[in-house]
Homo-oligomer: A and B are copies of this chain.
Amino acid sequence: MTPIGYVRSPYREKFAVPRQPGLAARVVSELRLDPPYNNPDAFRGIEQYTHLWLIFGFSLVGGDEVFRPTVRPPRLGGNSRLGVFATRSPFRPNRLGLSAVRFAGMKKNSGELSLFFAGGDLVDGTPVYDIKPYIAFSDSISDASSGFATDPPARARVEFSKESECFLSELAEGDYPCLRELVADILSYDHRPAYRSCADDGRIYGVALYDLNIRFSYGDGRVLVVSIEKLKSDQS
């Protein structure tokens, strides 16, 4: 298995991917193709498709190669065990991920070739193994269902400190599309382990998005964005 290229996206960690598809859909990511796949001929006709599949590697999943048959999916509160093949968890054999994305164009630049896409949940640096056109005839099964509750998870109110509001107002909007909405969406879902998530624990947490470090805390029934700052260059 050889990656055909690597993703550049604002999501520096899995937690930073927005859960609202509508918001993620406004963020454009880039797949930089490696030789010999950076040949425009290999993409002839792809502009005819509105959507694509990406098959990628869960590169952030660490080196534990022992097969674990069950996982605890966050959407079930982190306390129920399901078989790994009944989930989309990254902790799975062969570490393969699958996402449908919207095709957003190709760009050729002096020998480099990039494919742009919107939506999807691929973190920065993700290796991609294949691109396939999305064919509604065979791929869209609108009546596919699952017996699991599909209620959206509970969400908290998100507030911004004066310092973070000030930082946001000084950013060039074009460089960080929908940043305020993205931050509010991401932080509204409690990402802490289930056994700890009921407590206002007073700790300051951080999440990396684009080249920014977003610092926040839980308290008084809401999430407070304490500060937003540029990551130091060795972190970005």
Which residues from chain A sit less than 8 Å from chain B, CB to CB? Answer: 1-2, 4, 21, 36-37, 39-51, 53, 55, 67, 69-70, 81-88, 92-94, 96, 98-100, 129-148, 150
Could you say which of B4, B85, B86 contacts A93, with CB atoms under 8 Å apart? B4
Beyond contacts A49-B147, A88-B133, A99-B138: 19 other A-B pairs, Cβ-Cβ < 8 A, are A2-B93, A2-B94, A4-B94, A40-B83, A42-B70, A43-B86, A44-B81, A44-B86, A50-B145, A51-B144, A53-B98, A88-B135, A100-B138, A100-B139, A136-B142, A139-B139, A139-B140, A139-B141, A140-B142
Most chain B beta carbons < 10 A, residue from A36, A100, A133: A133
Q: B55 touching A41 by the CB < 8 A rule?
A: no
Of chain B, the residue at the smallest CB distance from A136 is: B144
Could you say which of B1, B93, B135, B144 contacts A139, with CB atoms under 8 Å apart? B144
By a CB distance below 8 angstroms, the chain B residues around A53 are 98
Q: How many identical subunits does the complex contain? A: 2
Q: A82 touching B144 by the CB < 8 A rule?
A: no
Q: B85 touching A131 by the CB < 8 A rule?
A: yes
Q: A83 touching B45 by the CB < 8 A rule?
A: yes
Q: A48 touching B147 by the CB < 8 A rule?
A: yes
By a CB distance below 8 angstroms, the chain B residues around A86 are 43-46, 48-49, 133
